[in-house]
Structure 1
């Protein structure tokens, strides 16, 4: 039996992979994004009802993060509208170790709908598709919390777990915490990328206040500065986030992708080649 599934954030890091996998399995997928023919915009709640119509399951990713102010109210309203629209199941992508995100999880968990919560550690792809990419291309990376180890998880693994959760009722009512098989410090990450690409990429520890000041001087939007400061203090500062779990193996029956394999695969695409800046 084929499902009608709305993928909110269907052009993002995990959403596009979830959508592609579902489509390959023959399900009817609606992309929830501002650029979609039936637009979905987190900042325009009036777009939500039409996007939900006719859908029986929803994969939810909130931009930029469930921890930001306003996210809880948005998830509350979306959940209310989903229930009104006869949606049967919600799968929420959340952040591992984010207390604010857990408030959003509670909304979904107490909605009366079937649900699965997918708490992910930081993505491998943050280094190739997000805010860590530019300094890597420039050859100089300065970050706070230099000694903290993070078990980075691959978005391919997250997408596979999300698809399994959407399609199989045995995952109803479950909370999965997704990590990679090994934890890395920022210096170890940059060393790995440097060695595989053959580039000289320097890493320097920096105090968080200094890092925040640099972002402000560069004109980074204040809400993004707030989010980065939150993530580096509340998330990376939480020792529990170094914990490695076996939830990916439990759900998928295989090991998660190792960060070193991600680096080797990604290096082939030349995304870390400086000429990309030209």
Structure 2
């Protein structure tokens, strides 16, 4: 197995319309083959017939995993069969060492890199927290706990390095932002930029999980998100990680950097 740089036009980017995927695609430029249910290259975890056409002719894959680890376990051997030599998996902070998603990649026989980022800063204007921020009240079960949210641009830059450069095979990178902040502090900084008041409400975990289910989230996702927020509440997610510095040789972007480039600016 080679550790040379991957050929520049062979990187399959899954979930290419997502928060990390579209930024990985943009950084790779012509090197990327973006794939999703809405891309020119179709890819759908629920439709295995889309997998091989997307993989054919690629040698590296940015893997945003499905909800079901069994699907990834089926996908990886097909990637091997079609000539892929390198996998970079988007995992998450706190994933256990026997995580089935990570195991599927590690046991592939290919060069692999695992990315374990913290919560995304972009959740405040692109995803989970955005409706509450827009409404003017964000209610989550995080108490006054602090957490080093990360800018997804940093994740994308680390991913591209791992996808295209030598020296990252067999590495698990813990990724975080440079400072740990509470939800109240982050919302106050958003208010400074927008001028629009936002209240922070700490809610009970069961009530939050129920509200997610009411919004249409699957029960397992609602429970996972709630558990991760409760870890922040309990003070278990305050520590910083050095993966961005190790890979990129610079400090991670700050929350102020994110705000300056976000839709809040």
TM-score, length-scaled by structure 1: 0.86
Report the Cα offset of residue 229 of structure 1. 2.7
Instruction: Say if 1:218 and 1:153 are closer, same or farther in 2 by CA, change over 3 A.
Output: closer
The question of 1:214 aligning with 2:220 is answered no
Map 1:1-278 → 2, pairs under 5 A: 1-23=7-29, 26-27=30-31, 29-63=32-66, 68=67, 70=68, 72-99=69-96, 102-218=99-215, 220-233=217-230, 236=232, 239-266=235-262, 268-269=264-265
> 1:246, 1:55 → 2: CA distance?
30
Report the Cα offset of residue 261 of structure 1. 2.1
> 1:263, 1:215 → 2: CA distance?
26
> 2:258, 2:65 → 1: CA distance?
24
1:28-84 per-position Cα deviation (integer Å, ceiling 9, x unaligned): x21110012231001112211111111111001125xxxx4x2x1111111111011
> 2:217, 2:120 → 1: CA distance?
21
Determine helix, strand or coil for the equivalent of 2:41: coil
Equivalenced residues, count:
259
1:143-162 per-position Cα deviation (integer Å, ceiling 9, x unaligned): 10222211000111000000
Q: Given that residues 136 and 198 in structure 2 are in contact (C-alpha distance below 8 angstroms), is that contact kept between their aligned partners in structure 1?
A: yes
1:110-164 per-position Cα deviation (integer Å, ceiling 9, x unaligned): 2100011111110000101001001111111111022221100011100000000
> 2:144, 2:15 → 1: CA distance?
32
1:93-117 per-position Cα deviation (integer Å, ceiling 9, x unaligned): 1101133983211221121000111
Report the Cα offset of residue 267 of structure 1. 5.2
Instruction: Say if 1:263 and 1:42 are closer, same or farther in 2 by CA, change over 3 A.
Output: same
TM-score, length-scaled by structure 2: 0.90
> 2:97, 2:112 → 1: CA distance?
19
Determine helix, strand or coil for the equivalent of 2:241: coil
> 1:145, 1:268 → 2: CA distance?
23
> 1:245, 1:108 → 2: CA distance?
22
Report the Cα offset of residue 206 of structure 1. 0.9
What are the ranges of 5 or more consecutive residues in structure 1 without an aligned counterpart? 270-278
What are the ranges of 5 or more consecutive residues in structure 2 without an aligned counterpart? 1-6
Q: What is the root-mean-square deviation in Å for CA atoms of aligned residues?
A: 2.0
> 1:209, 1:187 → 2: CA distance?
21
Q: Given that residues 97 and 240 in structure 1 are in contact (C-alpha distance below 8 angstroms), is that contact kept between their aligned partners in structure 2?
A: no
Deviates more, 1:256-265 or 1:182-191: 256-265
Partner of 1:276: none
